[in-house]
Copies of this chain bind each other. A is one copy, B any other.
C-alpha cells in the first residue's frame, strides 16, 4: 500500500474490519463504543479502552488529577453510550522520567477517585516510564461494564433506519475553552440518562453513541452503521452559550449521547434536555454523509469535526 501519514480513522476502520468473524464468544466486535463478550450461558461483559495522551488530549501542563479524572470519564461515557453499567477500571500509564512522585500520585488519585465515584473501582494496571524526558505521557484506561437493561440488552451504533429521528442530550459546542480548560476535562457521563432513555423508549431507541469527535462526525458514524445518511437542522441544535451551529457540530468532546429513535424522545431526562436535531435518510452513495440545513440552504458537514489537533 502507499504509505500516507498516520490516520487514526483509516487505521481504525481497517482494524475493525479484521475484528469481524471472531469466535461466538464475541457478541459485539471492534468498531462499537464497547466490545461485548459472552462469558457463560448468562453472563455478558462489555469492555472498552481509551487513552489520554499528554499534549494531544490535554495540555502539557494540565493538573495531573484532572488528567486522571478525564481518562476515566472518557471511558464512562463509552459505557453510557451502550446503556450499560460500569463495574471496574484498569489503567496503564507511561510517564516521562521528569515527572515527580507527587505528579504520579495526583494522576493516580484522579483515576482512583473517579472510578470509585462511579462504582468502577481501579482494580489494577501498570506503570512504566519513558526512556526520554521528551516523550509525552500516555494514560490508557480500560473499562469493564455489564448490561443494565433486561435480557442483556445494550444499544449499539447499528440500528438506524431511514426516517428515524436523530437526537442528542445536553448542549453542544465549546467544550474546550480558550485557556485549554473547560468541559472536556470534567463532564458528567450520561450513565443514568442512557438507561432511562432505553427504558422509556424501549425498542424505539435503535442506535446510540457518545459525542467525542463532534456531532458532524459522530452522526455520520451512526448513519454509516445503518447504511444511511443523516440530515441535521441547524436551528434545532442545542448550542452552548457563545457557540453557533459550526461549533455545535464540530467542536467535539461534548460527551453527550447522540442517538437514533423511532419516536419522539422525552424533552428532559434526569434534568438534562433532550433535543431532536435531525433524521436519517436513504443514500444512493457510500453511506455516512451528513448534511445540515442552515437558513434554508443545505450544506455538507461530513468533513467538520474535531481532528484531535492537539494543544
Contact = CB atoms under 8 A, between A and B. Distances in A.
Interface stretch (A11-19, A165-173, A178-186, A237-245): A11-19
B43 A142 contact: no
Nearest to A311: B131
A43 B44 CA distance: 10
Given A23-B121, A42-B40, A140 B112 contact: no
Contacts of A18: 108, 112
Contacts of A34: 124
Interface residues of A, number: 78
B90 A35 contact: yes
Interface of A: 1, 3-8, 10-12, 14-15, 18-19, 22-23, 25-26, 29-30, 34-35, 37, 39-40, 42-43, 45, 47-51, 53, 55-57, 87-88, 90-92, 94-95, 97, 99-102, 104-105, 108, 112, 116, 119, 121-132, 134-136, 138, 140, 142, 144, 146, 308, 310-311
A37 B88 contact: yes
A90 B49 CA distance: 7
Contact of A1 (B15, B101, B146, B311): B101
Given A30-B123, A121-B22, A131-B56, A142 B90 contact: yes
Given A37-B123, A42-B40, A47-B144, A3 B136 contact: no
A125 B49 contact: yes
